[in-house]
Amino acid sequence: MSRIALTCEELAELVTDYLEGALPRWQRLRFRLHIAGCRDCTHYVEQMRTTIAVTGRIRAEDIAPEVRDELLAAFRGWKAGSG
């Protein structure tokens, strides 16, 4: 490990693994040190926690078919690198 400090961009890439408890111990430490001193990233992590909690309660039948189709198209475009 060449440096301790984690950038905001690096934190954004690691947030899912952090919230799932999948980061190695040293990486988790870097993550926690960063959010301890970065109000924006702390807010971002809390937003992600809230998003996960809310979306985890949505059932497929709760989503209107046209909205589901738009979301699927957006995700397919994103995955293909065009959206």
Rounded to whole angstroms, how far apart are CA atoms 8 and 45?
11
Q: At what angle do helices 25-37 and 39-55 cross, to 10 degrees?
A: 110
Does pLDDT of 53 surpass 60? Answer: yes
Q: What is the pLDDT of residues 56-68, one digit of tens each?
A: 888 888 889 999 8
Rounded to whole angstroms, how far apart are CA atoms 77 and 83?
5
Query: Please, are residues 18 and 28 in contact by the beta-carbon 8 Å criterion?
Result: yes
Question: Cα-atom radius of gyration of the chain, to the nearest Å?
Answer: 16
Query: Please, are residues 14 and 27 in contact by the beta-carbon 8 Å criterion?
Result: yes
Domain range annotation of the chain: 8-80
Band of residue 4 on the pLDDT scale cut at 50, 70, 90: confident
Looking at the domain that runs over 8-80, which CATH code has it been given? Answer: 1.10.10
What is the pTM (predicted TM-score) of this model?
0.67
Q: What is the pLDDT of residues 9-27, one digit of tens each?
A: 999 999 999 999 999 999 9
